[in-house]
C-alpha cells in the first residue's frame, strides 16, 4: 500500500529498515489470525521469461514458507493460506493445474514437518485428486497434537461452497435429532453457521492480505472476513518481502476496528 519508497531487500538499508519495523510491532498489536492470498505467480513467471507458470507457482510456494516463518516469529496464532480455489480446478490449463497440484502437495508435506505447527486442510477433499487429498489428510493427522501456529491450507476451497456445506451440516444434524424444518428455521443463528464452517472453533481473520495489487476477495473466507481488515500489496507473490508484511502489521495496528458498529 501507499507511502514508503521501495527498499532493495538485499542491502544494509533494507536490513536497518526491517529492524526498525520489527521494533514497531509489539505483541498487543499483532493480529491473532492472518489470512493470505499469495497472488501474481503466473504474472511473475511471465515477466521473468519462464515458458510456463510452474516456476511462478514454485517461487510462490517458497515465499509461503518464508511468510509462515515471519508469522511464527511474531507469534501469530492462526494463518490461513488460499492455495487453490474450486474455480481453479475447472478453469486452469490442465498442465498448469497438474503442476500446481504437485507443488501444493510438496508444500503441505514440507510445512507439516515444521516443529509445533498444526496443519489443517480447509476445503472439499472430494473434489481433489486422491493423492493430493491423501497428502493433505496425512499432514493434518501428523500434526494434530501440535500446539504451535495453526496453519489452514485452503485447497479446493470456495467461500460460498463452505457456507452451503455448513448449512447442509446443520440441516443433517437437526434432522438426525428429529427436529422439524420449522423449528430449524426459527432457531437458526449466525453462531450456528459459524460452528459448522471449515474453520469452526478458530477466531475469524483479523487481517486479510493479498499480493499483486488485486483488490478483491475471490470467494475467500466470505463469512469469516465480515469484519476483517484488508491490506493490498502491489508486489507479486514471489516478490513479497518481510518489510511488506511488517508494514501490513503496522498498518493493522493503526486501524479503528468497528466490527460493524
**Confidence (pLDDT) at 19:** 82
**Confidence (pLDDT) at 3:** 40
For residue 120, the 8-state DSSP code is: E
Residue 222, judged by CB atoms within 10 A of its CB (0-12, 13-18, 19+), counts as middle
CATH number belonging to the domain at 30-158+204-254, selected among 3.60.70.12, 3.40.1180.10, 2.60.40.1930, 3.40.710.10? 3.40.1180.10
Assign 3-class secondary structure to 147-164.
CCCEEEEEEEECHHHHHH
**Confidence (pLDDT) at 1:** 43
Contact yes or no for 108/87 (Cβ under 8 A): no
User: Which pTM value belongs to this model?
Assistant: 0.92
Q: For the chain, what are the domain ranges?
A: 30-158+204-254
**Confidence (pLDDT) at 5:** 46
Dist CA 207 CA 235 (whole Å): 18
**Confidence (pLDDT) at 13:** 84
**Confidence (pLDDT) at 261:** 66
Residue 260, judged by CB atoms within 10 A of its CB (0-12, 13-18, 19+), counts as exposed
Dist CA 117 CA 150 (whole Å): 6
**Confidence (pLDDT) at 7:** 52
Contact yes or no for 113/41 (Cβ under 8 A): no
Residue 113, judged by CB atoms within 10 A of its CB (0-12, 13-18, 19+), counts as exposed
**Confidence (pLDDT) at 209:** 98
Q: pLDDT in tens for each of the 261 residues of the chain? A: 434 445 555 678 888 888 888 888 888 889 999 999 999 999 999 999 999 999 999 999 999 999 999 999 999 999 999 999 999 998 777 999 999 999 999 999 999 999 999 999 999 999 999 999 999 999 999 999 999 999 999 999 999 999 999 999 999 999 999 989 999 999 999 999 999 999 999 999 999 999 999 999 999 999 999 999 999 999 999 999 999 999 999 999 998 877 766
Residues noted as catalytic: 39, 88
For residue 140, count other CB atoms closer than 10 A to its CB. 17
Give the pairing type, strands 33-37 and 150-157. Answer: unpaired
For residue 230, count other CB atoms closer than 10 A to its CB. 17
**Confidence (pLDDT) at 96:** 93
Amino acid at each position: 500500500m501507499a507511502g514508503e519508497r521501495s527498499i532493495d531487500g538485499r542491502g544494509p538499508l533494507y536490513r536497518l529498515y526491517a529492524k526498525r519495523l520489527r521494533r514497531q510491532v509489539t505483541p498487543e498489536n499483532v493480529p491473532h489470525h492472518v489470512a493470505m492470498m499469495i497472488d501474481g505467480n503466473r504474472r511473475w513467471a511471465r515477466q521473468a521469461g519462464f515458458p510456463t507458470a510452474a516456476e511462478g507457482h514454485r517461487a510462490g510456494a517458497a515465499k509461503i514458507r518464508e511468510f509462515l516463518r515471519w508469522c511464527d516469529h511474531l507469534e501469530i496464532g492462526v494463518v490461513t493460506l488460499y492455495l487453490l480455489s474450486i474455480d481453479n480446478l475447472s478453469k486452469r490449463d490442465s498442465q498448469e493445474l497438474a503442476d500446481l497440484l504437485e507443488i501444493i502437495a510438496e508444500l503441505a508435506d514440507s510445512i507439516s514437518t515444521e516443529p509445533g505447527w498444526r496443519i489443517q486442510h480447509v476445503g472439499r477433499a472430494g473434489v481433489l485428486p486422491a493423492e493430493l487429498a491423501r497428502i493433505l489428510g496425512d499432514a493434518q493427522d501428523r500434526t494434530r497434537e501440535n500446539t504451535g501456529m495453526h496453519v489452514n491450507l485452503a485447497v479446493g476451497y470456495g467461500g460460498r461452497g463452505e457456507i452451503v456445506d455448513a448449512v447442509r451440516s446443520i440441516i443433517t444434524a437437526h434432522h438426525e435429532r428429529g427436529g422439524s424444518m420449522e423449528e430449524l428455521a426459527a432457531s437458526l443463528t449466525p453462531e450456528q453457521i459459524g460452528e459448522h464452517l471449515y474453520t469452526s472453533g478458530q477466531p475469524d481473520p483479523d487481517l486479510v492480505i493479498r499480493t499483486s495489487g488485486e483488490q478483491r476477495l475471490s470467494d475467500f473466507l466470505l463469512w469469516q472476513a465480515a469484519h476483517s481488515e484488508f491490506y493490498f500489496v502491489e508486489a507479486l507473490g514471489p516478490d513479497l518481502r518481510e518489510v511488506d508484511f511488517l508494514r501490513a502489521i503496522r498498518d493493522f495496528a493503526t486501524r479503528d476496528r468497528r466490527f460493524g458498529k
